[in-house]
Every structure is written in C-alpha cells, then in structure tokens.
Chain A
Amino acid sequence: MNNARSQILGGIRRALHRGEVSGAARQAVEGRLASPPLGPAVARARLGQADKIALFCQWAETNNATVARVAPAEVPGEVTAYLARNNLPANVAMAPSPLLDGYDWTSQRMLSIRRGRGQGSDQVSITGAFAGIAETGTLVTASGPDHPVTLNLLPDTHVVVLREADIVGGYEEVWARLRERYGKDRMPRTVNTITGPSRTGDIEQTIELGAHGPRRMHILVVHE
C-alpha cells in the first residue's frame, strides 16, 4: 500500500509542479495548523452570557427541541414531570456521569434509573452535555466512560441536562474547550453536535422527526 500512497502524493506534487512542501512554505502551513486562524466573526455568536443563553433556548426550540430553565434542585422533578406530561415511561437509561450524580434522583420515587450505555429498546435517556452553542441551539457531547454515544442515538426521547455556564457563542469556543480538556491532539472518540431531534426530509421533502435517532429532545438549562 506504500506504493499507492506515494502514487497519490507523487501525483499531487507533479500536478502542482513542486516537490514536498518545504522551507518557508512548510513553516507557514505548520504555523497555520498550530494556531488556526479564525473565520469571519459571526455577530450572533458574540453576545453577553445572558443573551447567549436566551439565543440558545430560542434556536433549540426552533429546531423542535423543548427547553426548561431550572435551578439545580429542580432537575429531577422536571425530568419526572416531563415524562409524565408526554406519557413516557419512568424507566430511563442515564449516563454514568459525575455531573448527573450531583442531582438528588432519589427524590423521584417513581423514576427507575439504569446507568450505562444505550440499548436498542431504550425509551428514554438522560445525559449531560459538554457544551451548548447559542448560534444554532446546538448541543455538544463528547464520548467517554461518562458519556456513551449510544445514549444520544438509540432512545426515542433524549433528555439533556446542560449547565448555563457551558453555553458558548459559536463553534470556535467549543473547539477551544475541547483542546483545553483533552489536549490539542487528543480528541475524544466521538464529538456529537446535535441540533434538535433526528429528522428526515427524504419523502417528498417534508420534515418528519425521529428518523433513526430520538423523536423528542428535552433540554434542561440549569442555572447554578
């Protein structure tokens, strides 16, 4: 396969009439990788924190998610109430995340919680989120022992607990947080950015929710 590799790379260099990128040109591209230039600033991603939170909620709802703004103590109760309002079962699969351990789930006696990865038969999952992006009302999750990716995808209903402090303006702030948390060259296996429930427009270009992922997404925005 080394042959195939040099065939492709050699072909590119021949077409561009040069050898390997070297000297000053190489320094320039290496520098560009080391400190990536930002794209044109997007005004709606550059707001004060309170406006960011409001914009996040507004776009999340536009994208067919539902949002509840709650205090930490209200989180378990809001989850139970949401499930009851939507006639959903009180059996949930919950991410084994320390962030979620901070809430008093024992207060909800009807709620039956399994911690672990998602299963094909799960109706409801509860996870945290790495960040929320105000610009488009998008959630960001990072895979790891505390956040199996299957919980984002397999259940019919995805309930997400997002701290206000984790809401950022635009994508660039998420990249910065990822580099800070995991190291510049060590992305987690999967970073999902999720904007509302799963959907498809493949039949007559009309949007239907719940194609393969969750049909419903409920976001608890927690002020601490």
Chain B
Amino acid sequence: MESTAHAFKENVGHALADPNLQDSLAKLKVGFSERRRQAAERLPEFEALRDRARDIKNHTLAHLDFYLEEFERKVIALGGHVHWAPTAADARHIIAELCRSVGARTVAKSKSMVAEEIALNDYLEAMGIAPIETDLGEYIIQLRHEPPSHIIAPAVHLTKDQVADTFLEHHGKLGFSKRLTERNDLVAEARYVLRQKFLDADVGLTGANFLVAETGSSMLVTNEGNADLSNTLPRMHIVLASIEKVIPTLEDAAVLLRVLARSATGQESSAYTTLNTGPKRPGDLDGPEQYHVVLLDNGRSSVLGTEMQDILRCIRCGACMNHCPVYGAVGGHAYGWVYPGPMGAVLTPQLVGVEEASNLPNASTFCGRCESVCPVRIPLPKLMRHWREREFEKHLTPRAWRQGMALWGFLARRPALYRGLTAVANRMLALFGRAEGRYRALPLAGGWTRFRDFPAPQPGGTFHAQWAKKRRA
C-alpha cells in the first residue's frame, strides 16, 4: 500500500473526529489488555517463558543464515520448494509466476501482514488473478477497499453496523438481500459465501507465524480455520514469510506458542495451530500437490547487527498496540502504512524510510507499556528513540524545533544558568497565573494551550529547588 505515514498528523485529526472508530477503540482498550493480563496470571511460568522466547529469537538471529539453509534443506527433502526474494518486487513476481504456472484464476488468501507489506493483492489483480481474503476481518476490509488497522484484528476499527452495511451491499448480488443485525448471522453469511470460494480456488496463500528449521515446517496460528482450508483444498499451497520467522526446533516453537496467543488475545491457545511440511504424500486423501515457501528479506538482513536488531524478534502478537495509549486514541490507519502501533513505529521507518515515516517514532509518550507486555521483550521505546536520533541527525526535524532543542541543550549544559532562569520563569508564571490558577494561552506554548490549559505553578519554587530543600531538611 501507498504510505501516508508522512501525513500522520492529519490522519490523527480525522481519526479523533470519527465516531465509529472511537466507539471501536473504546472496546479495544479494555478487551485485549484485560484478557492478556488474566492469561498471564493463570500461567506462573509466563515471565520465564518470555525470557526464553527472547533468548530463542536472539539465538536464531545470530545464526539466521544457518537456520534458513537448514530450513530450505528440509523443505526440499520432503518435496517442497523454497524461493528467495530479496525485495518486495521479487516476492510479487515469484508468487505471480507460481499462480500462472497452474493457470490460477483465484487465490484463497489467509491473513498475511507480509502480503500487505508487498502489496500483493493489487499486483495479482492487475494480472487478472483474483485474491480472495478469507479471514473474516480481512474479508470485510477487502470488500470495503480498506487496509488492515491492526496486525491481528484487521477490522477492529469497524462496528457491527458497518459490517452489516458492507455485507448488504456486496452479498445482495449473491441472493442475500436482508440486512443482518446479529453477529452470528453475519459470521454465518460470510462462512457460506467463502466456503464455495475455498472449494473453487486454484492456489492457497498463507503467511507463517514460524518456520521450523528442524523439520522444514511452516507453522500457522489462527482461530477461524481459514488458513487450514487455504493450505488443504487448493492444489498449490504458497507460504509467504519473512526471513526472521525461522526458529530452530519444535521445542522452541512450544515456548513461543505459550507466549504468543496469551499476549495476543489472552487465549490459552488459539483454536488452530498447524504445521505444514511439504505437499500431499502418497496415499493422502487431500492436500496440495505443490508446496512453495517464499522467503522475503525486504531490508531485514540490513537490520541485523545494528542497534535496531531487537525489532526482528517481533512475533506479531499485537500486544504493544493493544496497550498503547496513542494507538488506543487514533487506531491503526493513522499510522499510514501496514504495521501500526509501537512495533510499526519502529519497523515502518526501516521499511519505507525515515524520511517518510519520521512522525511515527515521535507518536509515543514513552510510557513503556509496550515494552512491559512484549512477549519477546523488545525495548520498543529505546528503538523509537534511536529513530528520533537518526531523524535529528538527518535534519528531518522542523527548524523551530531544532532551534528550541539547541537552546535547551545550551541551558542543560550550564546547570547554574538553567536553575536561575527556570526559577525566574517559575516565579513569574506562578505570580501572573495566581488569580485563575491556569493559563488559556502562553507565548511559545500554543501547541499545548490550543487543546488544554497550562496549570500555573504552585508556590514553593521549581522542582530542583524543592528537592534541594527537602534533602537539607
């Protein structure tokens, strides 16, 4: 998709003024985070598992080439194929050629953020191949021509009524002319419509949560069963996965699975966790005749060995966005590209460039909730700070802001001067604000006072002064 990350501030304005979005976000804030907390409390070993999950990913990243080669060897040994795609364009091309090789007209797609990243659907459509999103949330937003707003709940920005309107508009021609009001009826109608599409599809395309080097298996975690229909009914199964999805062994998968679902939805386990290894075997009564894995780099290898490497541990659970006050206020679309929330604020500048996405790492209060819930302990605020530094180094920040920072830096390096000036400012603000106790407008602070009042300081001096006094007492 075309990035609008540069327009983050305008996007936020629209998001805050959208009542449907705000209704949906209000539910998100209590739902996921409360369920995650309960799931974590039910498993006494949860924190130890998070430590191990982090260590497993770090170990894998340090030997990424080895495990990718090992994975490839195992896939080939069991009759599958591995394709290496350095760029998004390479991956699109490989997948289109595979589809063409079997004369595919439709592709049953299971939710894949990497497919969003490479804008696969538009490419396939332009070639006359129809991609059909089969995850319910992805299906809804495909009908509405919208991008996902959350990495595990792509339609979380929509209300039930919006879904009902969308189905009425698109399913009418299939003979469904009644506007539905109940959630279970909406789910049943989508199930009915998509069932036939599954049976007709020539190719099934899925992502992968993990690639297991030991066995050459792709591992998929879902709740609906759509990924499993995608990898079983069509005659070709294509797995699209980025290179950092590889893990060494099934034992490592067990550790990661124990933290993944709990962090994501607060479930003990997702409904379906599936290992696919190669194509249909002799004697099998179902399954695809061809099994292909497309390994996408798209800039990830260049993150290895840098201060940003930790983001490659991400297992895409969505906990960071579920717990982020900024995501909770503006939703996923405001971030302007595929990956929203804190992990997106770190990954997007890497993938689309810091020039385009410099707003995102700034859209954080650094409250630290994302890091505190991350199942693989990615220090997200620290990584966002690295991007802010790079942004500053590249002179991408506005001039007034840079001048302000330079002034602050000048003062911060001269403590005596800093204390003197702040003491004067503090006294003035306290004095002139005495009557009302707050300011409706302040010079140089328009950005603040446009939306809220600035409290007048209480008597007693600056924090520094009060601290010093307290220590003397």
Contacts and interface: CB of A to CB of B under 8 A. Distances in A.
A15 B258 CA distance: 31
Interface in B267-282: 267-281
Q: How large is the interface on A (under 10, 10 to 19, 20 to 34, 35 or more residues)?
A: 35 or more
Q: Give the interface centre of B163, B188, B232, B305 by most chain A CB atoms within 10 Å.
A: B232
B250 A175 contact: yes
Q: Give the interface centre of A8, A153, A186, A197 by most chain B CB atoms within 10 Å.
A: A8
Interface stretch (B60-68, B351-359, B420-428): B60-68
Contacts of A185: 74, 77, 215
A25 to B, nearest CB: 8
Given A42-B45, A43-B45, A148-B284, A36 B250 contact: yes
A21 B65 contact: yes
Interface residues of B, number: 109
A145 B283 contact: yes
Interface string B47-77: 0110110001000001111111110001001
Given A15-B304, A120-B195, A149-B287, A187 B277 contact: yes
A102 interface: no
A137 B270 CA distance: 11
B191 A210 contact: yes
Q: Give the interface centre of B83, B84, B216, B252 by most chain A CB atoms within 10 Å.
A: B84
Contacts of A189: 276-281, 284, 287
B249 A33 contact: yes
B273 A193 contact: yes
Given A33-B248, A187-B217, A40 B301 contact: no
Interface stretch (B25-33, B121-129, B378-386, B431-439): B25-33
B65 A191 contact: no
Interface string A130-174: 000001111000011100111011100000000000000011100
A54 B70 CA distance: 40
Given A4-B86, A9-B69, A36 B248 contact: yes
A117 interface: yes
A211 B163 contact: no
B187 interface: yes
B84 A8 contact: yes
Interface string B158-191: 1110010000000000000000000110111011
Nearest to A204: B160
Contacts of B254: 39, 170-172, 175
B415 to A, nearest CB: 41
B278 A116 contact: no
A210 B213 contact: no
B343 to A, nearest CB: 20
Interface string A16-59: 11001100011001001100111111111000000000000001
A203 B64 CA distance: 38
B442 interface: no
Contacts of B32: 205
Nearest to B301: A11
Contacts of B449: none
Interface in B437-471: none
Contacts of A21: 63, 65-66
Q: Give the interface centre of B65, B137, B191, B265 by most chain A CB atoms within 10 Å.
A: B65
A97 to B, nearest CB: 11
Contacts of A206: 183
Contacts of A144: 281, 283-284
Contacts of B269: 63, 136, 138, 193, 195
Contact of B224 (A63, A143, A198): A198
Given A39-B56, A40-B48, A42-B45, 11 more contacts: A4-B84, A20-B66, A21-B66, A33-B214, A40-B51, A118-B286, A138-B269, A143-B284, A153-B225, A171-B250, A191-B274
Interface of A: 1, 4-5, 7-9, 11-13, 15-17, 20-21, 25-26, 29, 32-33, 36-44, 59, 62-63, 96, 116-118, 120, 135-138, 143-145, 148-150, 152-154, 170-172, 175, 178, 184-206, 208, 210-214
Nearest first, the 9 closest Cβ-Cβ pairs linking A and B are: A213-B225, A39-B255, A211-B224, A202-B137, A36-B249, A15-B304, A11-B301, A171-B254, A145-B283
8 contacts: A12-B301, A96-B285, A153-B232, A154-B229, A184-B214, A189-B278, A201-B153, A210-B187
